[in-house]
Amino acid sequence: MAKKFFIETLGCAMNVRDSEHMMAELVIKEGYEEASSASEADLIIINTCSVREKPVNKLFSEIGQFAKIKKPEAKIGVCGCTASHLGEEIIKRAPVVDFVLGARNVSKIRDVLNRPKAVEVDIEYDESRYAFGELRTSLYKAYINISIGCDKQCSFCIVPHTRGEEISIPAELIVKEAVKAAKSGAKEIFLLGQNVNNYGRRFSGEHPKMGFTQLLREVSEIEGVERIRFTSPHPLHMDDEFLEEFAKNPKICKSMHMPLQSGSTKILKAMKRGYSKEWFLERAAKLREMVPDLSISTDIIVGFPGESDEDFEDTMEVLESVRFEQVFSFKYSPRPLTPAKDYDNQVPQDVASERLARLQARHNEMLDEMKSDRLGRVYEVYFEELKPGGMVAGRTDNNWLVQAKGSEELLGKIVPVEIVETSRLGSVGRVVA
């Protein structure tokens, strides 16, 4: 009987893709099948995130839970960013763990499987040219990595220490992967990297000069590709050429992630973000002017060391002015290996909690104001998933979740849908015949 694996994936889209890569290696090259639960698996993998403290603490209790329910011979592997960061400490603290495999080392999954207590966490390891097997968890959308690692040194962020320095994946490999995905029916290509619009600054080995804007053009020329999304871009690298391509290329979905982090120029400086409040506001305004029906999402950290009431008001001002369609907001969490954890002006927890609550409450109000604009309008929805109760779910070009009555025959299709009901979490629509 085939061996079975179970993967739990935490964190960002990069991790989702890393999990798919590991699955591909296991299924295609080792003959594994996916288990429906951890208790029937021969291999349990936890693909971790270390961006905030909470998930790291959760990891060890989770390993304990898996250890209780697993088959006696089943192996447990810890992968991803916390694996990179803690390395062999994980096995010391939880001896039940069989191997530790860091982010940007996932191509070694077959190797560590059979090496007891293997630890592979080299953040300089270059797998930018590794040919992973072809396996995707969605038929309709293809995640494709365009770079590994991150060269930015944001003072709050652990990622450069878990995913190492930035290396772009050769454009011809990206295009080849996108062509294959499109041929097998994926109309949507989702380009992934820690800092996508910095693409092309460094390749391993010789490679013709190429920037992100050019890469977008090339992917958009592929037959069968109808939608292109990408994450995450950095506001600093949003130059005019990039914004113009974004606005005028009909295949590029009109939703932009602009991670603000803070609205205060003083705090942005302390975060080493490289842009000011004014730059961010100007770029967002320009985008809104160029792209009707644009949706902008963002990440915001409150309570960064030294954030005064006035600094927080700057963040609230940007929130009012840009009117983000989606906000991922977090309380600052001091991380090991980052400069900001040693700043001496840490913000008390209760102040940070209060600011987070205020920001989220105001954003919810704004969403309530914005959502009524959608009612009665018709959007092109790409249906990707069956939902209970005879519903199918998909996304509009500008990334709103929409459900409508329907079945398999709508999956993989882009169809016009009239919005009949809408809430903060998503909308319900009616397929327009």
Per partner kind, with CB cut-offs from 5 to 8 A, the member of ligand 5AD, ligand SF4, none near residue 52 is ligand 5AD
Distance CA 200, CA 380 (A): 32
Asked if residues 79 and 23 have their Cβ atoms less than 8 Å apart, the reply is no
**Residue ranges in contact with ligand SF4 by CB under 6 A:** 11-12, 14-15, 49-51, 80-81, 103, 159, 162-163
Q: Is 332 in the site for ligand 5AD (CB under 6 A)?
A: yes
Separation CA 79–CA 133 (nearest Å):
19
DSSP H helical ranges for 291-326: 309-322
From the list ligand 5AD, ligand SF4, none, partner contacted by residue 287 (C-beta under 5 to 8 A by kind): none
Read off the amino acid at residue 432: V
166 alpha carbon, distance to own chain's centre: 16
Q: Which range, of 114-122, 176-184, 330-338, 400-408, touches ligand 5AD by CB under 6 A? A: 330-338
Name residues whose C-beta falls within 8 Å of residue 393's C-beta, 6 or more positions apart in sequence. Answer: 383, 384, 385, 386, 387, 401, 402, 403, 426
Edge-to-edge strand order for the sheet containing 99-102? 33-34, 4-9, 43-48, 75-80, 99-102, 118-120
Q: Which is nearer to ligand 5AD, 122 or 299 (CB)?
A: 299
Give the residue closest to ligand SF4 by C-beta.
11
Residue nearest to ligand 5AD (CB): 299
> Is the distance from CB of 329 to CB of 322 less than 8 angstroms?
no
Q: At 213, which amino acid appears?
A: T
CB-based contact 80:107 (threshold 8 Å): no
What are the residues whose beta carbons fall under 8 Å from the beta carbon of 308, sequence distance 6 or more?
A: none
Q: Using the rule CB under 6 A, is 85 a contact of ligand 5AD?
A: no
Which listed option, ligand SF4, ligand 5AD, none, makes contact with residue 162 (CB within 5 to 8 Å by class)? Answer: ligand SF4
Residue 49 binds which of ligand SF4, ligand 5AD, none (CB < 5-8 A, kind-dependent): ligand SF4
Which stretch in 66-74, 203-211, 325-333, 348-356 sits in contact with ligand 5AD by CB under 6 A?
Answer: 325-333
Query: CA-based Rg of the chain, rounded to a whole angstrom?
Result: 22
Where in 123-162 is the site for ligand 5AD (CB under 6 A)?
156-157
Helix (H) or strand (E) holding 226: none
Q: Which does 156 bind (CB under 5 to 8 A by kind): ligand SF4, ligand 5AD, none?
A: ligand 5AD
Q: Based on CB atoms, which residue is closest to ligand SF4, 79 or 347?
A: 79
Q: Peptide bond before 308: cis, by omega within 30 degrees of 0?
A: no
Nearer to ligand SF4, 191 or 404 (CB): 191
Could you tell which of ligand SF4, ligand 5AD, none binds residue 403, using a CB distance below 5 to 8 A set by kind?
Answer: none
Q: To which H or E segment does residue 262 belong? A: none
Select the residue interacting with ligand 5AD from 60, 279, 330, 343 (CB under 6 A): 330
Which member of 76, 301, 318, 367 binds ligand 5AD (CB under 6 A)? 301
Residues in 336-355 at the binding interface with ligand 5AD, rule: CB under 6 A: none
Please choose, from the candidates 428, 399, 431, the residue with its C-alpha nearest in 3D space to the C-alpha of residue 417. 431
The item of ligand SF4, ligand 5AD, none sharing an interface with residue 80, based on CB under 5 to 8 Å by kind, is ligand SF4
Q: Angle 171-183/212-220 helices, nearest 10 degrees? A: 30
**If binding means CB under 6 A, how many residues of this protein chain bind ligand 5AD?**
12
Among the listed residues 275, 204, 269, the one whose alpha carbon sits nearest the alpha carbon of residue 234: 275
Is 299 a binder of ligand 5AD (CB under 6 A)? yes
Q: How far apart are CA 213 and CA 325, in angstroms?
A: 24
Question: Among residues 30, 33, 52, 391, which is the contact residue for ligand 5AD, using CB under 6 A?
Answer: 52
Angle at 309 between CA 304 and CA 313, to 5 degrees: 95
- Smallest gap from Cβ 347 to ligand 5AD, in A, equals 12
Using the rule CB under 6 A, which residue among 259, 305, 306, 406 binds ligand 5AD? 259
Q: Does the footprint of ligand 5AD cover residue 51 (CB under 6 A)?
A: yes
Of 235 and 394, CB closest to ligand 5AD: 235
Q: What angle do CA 148, 150, 154 make, to 5 degrees?
A: 160
Residues contributing to the site for ligand 5AD (CB under 6 A): 51-52, 156-157, 259, 261, 299, 301, 330, 332-333, 335
